[in-house]
Amino acid sequence: METNNLIRTEAYVNGQWTKAASGKTFDVINPATGEVIAAVPDMNREDVRQAINAADAAWLAYRDLTAKERAALLRNWFNLIMEHKEELARIMTIESGKVMAESLGEVNYGASFIEWFAEEAKRAYGDVIPAHTKDRRLVVIKQSVGVAAAITPWNFPLAMITRKVGPALAAGSPVIVKVPSETPLTGLAISYLAEKAGFPPGVYNTVTSTDSSEVGKELCENPKVRKLSFTGSTPVGKILMSQCASTLKKLSLELGGNAPFIVFDDADLDAAVKGALVSKFRHNGQTCVCVNRILVQDSVYDAFVEKFTQAVQGLKTGNVLDPEVQVGPLIHDRAVKKVKEHIQDAVTKGAKITTGGESMEGLFFQPTVVAGATPEMLIAREEVFGPVAPIFRFSTEEEAIQMANDTEYGLASYFYSRDVNRCWRVAEALEYGMVGINEGLISTELAPFGGIKESGFGREGSKYGMDYFMEIKYMCFGGVS
């Protein structure tokens, strides 16, 4: 297969490469250089309706494939993605600014969901329930929910698609993916590989648009769509949820976070520095599970700040295609502005910058450490989504837990301690969907990913992931003699 084929500049609907009916397109920009990479269709609500109709028409035949047949299609797709790992990583890097080493990691991570759900397809077991009368038999089966829509974010141009469509396709649901306008090319490239993998027309659809609000409305309000899965901000999640109310659509929302990273005085400080570094600076701080607040106990505060500052100074910024580079640009100028505002607000309220603090060329910003952060600062309440690490101080375990939970978000949290009793106590007390204990990188296809409170609901990946794309049906067989 030609590498060039992976750069697709049309949407993929009903097994066809398609333009917007209006003929409109929009540009995809490389955030590291400002260059235009390609132009893709700027679809409207009616275009998206066509994709929904195609998915709906494909549903019953696809649902009726055996689980083993669906698993084989997913396995083909997984193999093709792994065969084209380098090209996919390169496309991802040039459209998202994610450094090459991380893009390669994301292709593996994203593909792992397809492999996992190819295996899980065959294990969507039901139940036989002991009946309450002699002449009845009670049986529970799980069936595909129907057409599923996925609205995915720019920060993981591949993995957030596969984490949603993997379980949907395994369960027997056709999908419509609305890829982000910042990074549509990776999503289109894997659509091409899905076509080559042999998914029947209408089963896999990808739409591109700058009009997220109209496209979102169609996906939420169209009764043929039975399930919506969204990863993005909490404010947008709330809008989608209210729009889905009209059809009572099944919904999964993976929304914003404000992850605490607690360092207790009994922690292995070097391990904590390493964990905080990898968790804070993954994709330049632009993930929902990135550390947002580092909370450090009094007696180790100064030592941690010193070691962490040194580690941050060692991060290599530069050409995103260089496999050694660890920090790339931010996605757009709004992100740079937000980072600046957070730093300015913290400094005005008494914080001290121990390294970084300045913007660089284009959308690049220096990796920054802010010591002396306090709960009154903007940075304590809002998701930074950038390369800024504020360090807060606490005295007792109770205070750390109170500070960590003092947010409307509840996605990921982390802490470091060598006391096994404390590890259990704190892990149970943190009001979050995910807790990293002496670990800063917790994402894997094997474990349930998702949040509580205003970080949303639903779980992706793991043995739980397919349930969100299936309905439970109870069947009562009567008159059995």
Residues taking part in catalysis:
254, 288
Q: How do strand 452-453 and strand 456-457 relate by DSSP bridges?
A: unpaired
172: left (phi over 0), alpha (psi -120 to 50) or beta: left
Cα(375)–Cα(65) distance, integer angstroms: 54
- Residue 452 CB, shortest distance to ligand SIN, in Å, is 15
The answer to whether 330 contacts ligand SIN (rule: CB under 6 A) is: no
Number of residue whose CB is nearest ligand SIN: 443
- Residue 267 CB, shortest distance to ligand SIN, in Å, is 23
156-175 binders of ligand SIN (CB under 6 A): 156
97-116 binders of ligand SIN (CB under 6 A): none
- Residue 55 CB, shortest distance to ligand SIN, in Å, is 24
Q: Which is nearer to ligand SIN, 364 or 385 (CB)?
A: 385
The answer to whether 297 contacts ligand SIN (rule: CB under 6 A) is: no
Identify the residue among 288, 330, 343, 434 touching ligand SIN (CB under 6 A): 288
Q: Which residues touch 255 (CB under 8 Å, ≥6 apart)?
A: 231, 232, 233, 234, 237, 288, 409, 411, 451, 454, 455, 456
Cα separations in angstroms, 330 against 95, 156, 222, 285, 312: 12, 13, 35, 9, 17
Cα(381)–Cα(257) distance, integer angstroms: 10
Amino acid at 165: V
Cα(282)–Cα(286) distance, integer angstroms: 7
Cα(409)–Cα(417) distance, integer angstroms: 23
Q: Which is nearer to ligand SIN, 156 or 468 (CB)?
A: 156
How many C-alpha atoms does 442 have within 13 Å on its Cβ side? 27
**Window 220-259: contact mask with ligand SIN (x via CB under 6 A):** -----------x----------------------x-----
Stretch that binds ligand SIN, among 192-200, 210-218, 237-245, 282-290 (CB under 6 A): 282-290
Structure tokens at 55: 């998915």
Identify the residue among 287, 292, 366, 417 touching ligand SIN (CB under 6 A): 287
* Number of residues lying near ligand SIN (CB under 6 A): 9
Residues contributing to the site for ligand SIN (CB under 6 A): 155-156, 231, 254, 287-289, 443, 449
